[in-house]
Amino acid sequence: MDNRYFYEGTTGPWELVIGLEVHAQVISNAKLFSGAATAFGAEPNTQVSFVDAAMPGMLPVINEVCVEQAIKTGLGINAEINLVSVFDRKNYFYADLPAGYQISQYTRPIVGKGYLDIELEDGTARRIGITRLHLEQDAGKSIHDQHPEKSYIDLNRSGVALMEIVSEPDLRSAEEAAAYVRKLRAIVRCLGTCDGNMDQGSMRVDVNVSVRKAGEAFGTRAEIKNVNSIKFLTQAIHYEAERQIVLLEEGGEVLQETRLFDAARGTTRPMRGKEHAHDYRYFPDPDLPPLVVDATWVEKIRSQMPELPDAKKTRFMKEYELPAYDASVLVGETETATYFETGLKSLDPLTAKTAKLFSNWLIVELFGALNREGKTIDQSPVTPSLLAGLINQIQAGVISGKIAKEVFSLMWESGKDATSLIEEHGLKQVSDDGAILATIDKVLSENPSMVDEYKSGKDKLFGFFVGQVMKAMAGKANPELVNQLLKEKLGK
Ligand code: ADP
Ligand code: MG
């Protein structure tokens, strides 16, 4: 379902058009225009300066760190940096917005056009345009569930710096939208400009969805506000697409409106009619001069950029001869890439073959175990060097891949290294011709009719013999050797 570009309606296929506005909280100790702290989870209203509370006469002062973070992110999304940008007031009335306006950037954002390359599971690559990135303040938070009659306001978030990253309406499926958010998250995390924690609200997505018949002009969009996980993003897009298609096919009209995602039901519902820009009465903030940044500063930031996921992927493919799929999974999170490269240091020998083996074990076994236990890779009891130790034992022929799974489980439980576990549990692979041949003789003599069938052409039975020998040797026989000796013995 995810990978469909076209939705089938009763009137034929429809195409999805999606544009995302991602709000990414800037990593900075202080707010965008005040020195108040930004730590997550603090007691309500303990991180609020007079500026954030909009006390009369207070003046905003721009935080250089936030500007640097925005520039870094702009460079990370291949965008042009505007050396002159302007802060505007976006006026609206809301209880958690004490100033009555939000300071944002409207006509002249700090970062202009850029793009992101995304890759889908089937290997398709697409370039998604980014319209702009601007800096703005976050608002406070209304709390409605603490008192039966009253609402409370927490201003800790008021004034925290956000980067709003707006995409072009270039996305065509929920899968693409998810890939875009994952990619953006990997980039900001790698840059250290946003922690990307969607569950803590430091990355939130407004999803614009419309549908059209192929080749026609864009349809009217609905905007779903504040979606805070990739799973919800996918659900919201599917729901919204179907809702709009059914509506249009019944002769109705899609309204341009803001909708809310209901996570419990997996549906969206109207929140309010969409404000138009003129409703916000934007105008340049008279308290703030235009923001002028020095080109040499931008170049200095550019020269200090870390290796980004795309570059890392290319390097992994080249240096370790990894397939594109492995490489893109490994660079999906900085921690995964670090785990991989740390592990490779303990591989003996490090070759394309052992690197690929290590990658397989990381992506399949380690990810599997981490998912089962809800752990992050940094919390893995199997460290990179432990996993490398296991691969070394496979590579050296000490254990088979099958036994290695058993060793991996033991390793996960105990944190002990592969060599000790193999010794302790007697898991060493038997690579002794004599022992294997003896077992082969026994298996063949116990199954004379099968041997006859095999010899008269039933080649499939070969697997049966291998299985019987392995079983008789408790899975510890060297599989390659078993195959080779069986072939010799059966005379084929
Ligand atoms: P606003 O700030 O009012 O939400 P913007 O023009 O900044 O409006 O657009 C917001 C987002 O909507 C952008 O990500 C853009 O790509 C997307 N968008 C614009 N038109 C459409 C459309 N017809 N269908 C889907 N997304 C759209
Ligand atoms: Mg919007």
Ligand 1 centre to CA of 208 (Å) is: 6
Query: Which of 366, 395, 424 finishes a domain?
Result: 424
Does 170 share its domain with 57? yes
Ligand 2 centre to CA of 208 (Å) is: 8
Does 383 share its domain with 438? no
pLDDT of residue 119: 87
Does 30 share its domain with 138? yes
Ligand 1 centre to CA of 126 (Å) is: 19
Ligand 2 centre to CA of 21 (Å) is: 6
Instruction: Identify which of 107, 61, 117, 52 has the alpha carbon closest to the alpha carbon of residue 84.
Output: 107
pLDDT of residue 486: 92
**Confidence at 3, pLDDT banded by 50, 70, 90:** very low
Does 89 share its domain with 161? yes
Which residue's CA lies nearest to atom 17 of ligand 1? 19
**Confidence at 276, pLDDT banded by 50, 70, 90:** low
> In total, how many domains does the chain have?
3
Residue 491 φ/ψ region, left for φ over 0, alpha for ψ in the -120 to 50 degree band, beta for the rest: left
Ligand 2 centre to CA of 412 (Å) is: 46
Quote the CA–CA distance of 79 and 89 in Å, as a whole number: 24
For β-strands 222-227 and 257-262, DSSP reports them as parallel
Does 22 share its domain with 165? yes
Does 282 share its domain with 345? no
Cβ–ligand 1 distance for 218 under 6 Å, the answer yes
Query: Is 402 or 295 the better-scoring residue by pLDDT?
Result: 295
Does 102 share its domain with 185? yes
Cβ–ligand 1 distance for 208 under 6 Å, the answer yes
CB-CB contact of 408 with 365 (8 Å):
yes
Backbone angles phi, psi at 91, to 5 degrees: -90, 125
Best residue among 107, 170, 208, 276 to mutate for probing ligand 1, ranked by most atoms within 8 Å of CB:
208
Does 391 share its domain with 454? no
What's the mean pLDDT in 316-331?
94
Cβ–ligand 1 distance for 164 under 6 Å, the answer no
Cβ–ligand 1 distance for 40 under 6 Å, the answer no
Whether residue 480 has pLDDT greater than 90? no
Ligand 1 centre to CA of 171 (Å) is: 11
For residue 165, give the amino acid letter.
I
pLDDT in tens, 324-378: 889 989 998 889 999 999 999 999 999 999 999 999 999 999 999 999 999 999 9
What's the mean pLDDT in 253-280?
85
Does 124 share its domain with 150? yes
Whether residue 5 has pLDDT greater than 60? no
Does 9 share its domain with 141? yes
What's the mean pLDDT in 31-48?
96
Query: Which of 404, 424, 444 finishes a domain?
Result: 424
What's the mean pLDDT in 406-421?
96
Rounded to the nearest integer, the mean pLDDT of the chain is 93
pLDDT in tens, 179-226: 999 999 999 999 999 999 999 999 999 999 999 998 899 999 999 999
Ligand 1 centre to CA of 19 (Å) is: 6
Which residue's CA lies nearest to atom 15 of ligand 1? 19
Does 91 share its domain with 199? yes
Instruction: Identify which of 299, 79, 313, 26 has the alpha carbon closest to the alpha carbon of residue 189.
Output: 26
Q: What atom of ligand 1 comes closest to residue 277's alpha carbon? A: 3
Quote the CA–CA distance of 488 and 158 in Å, as a whole number: 77
Best residue among 166, 207, 218, 248 to mutate for probing ligand 1, ranked by most atoms within 8 Å of CB:
166
* Domain hosting residue 120, numbered range: 3-300
The pTM (predicted TM-score) of the whole model is: 0.84
Does 228 share its domain with 201? yes
Q: In this predicted structure, which of 252-261, 265-274, 412-421 has the lowest mean pLDDT?
A: 265-274
Which CATH number does the domain housing residue 462 bear?
Answer: 1.10.10.410
Cβ–ligand 1 distance for 129 under 6 Å, the answer no
Quote the CA–CA distance of 293 and 84 in Å, as a whole number: 6
pLDDT in tens, 112-123: 999 999 988 888
Residue 475: count other Cβ atoms within 10 Å of its Cβ: 15
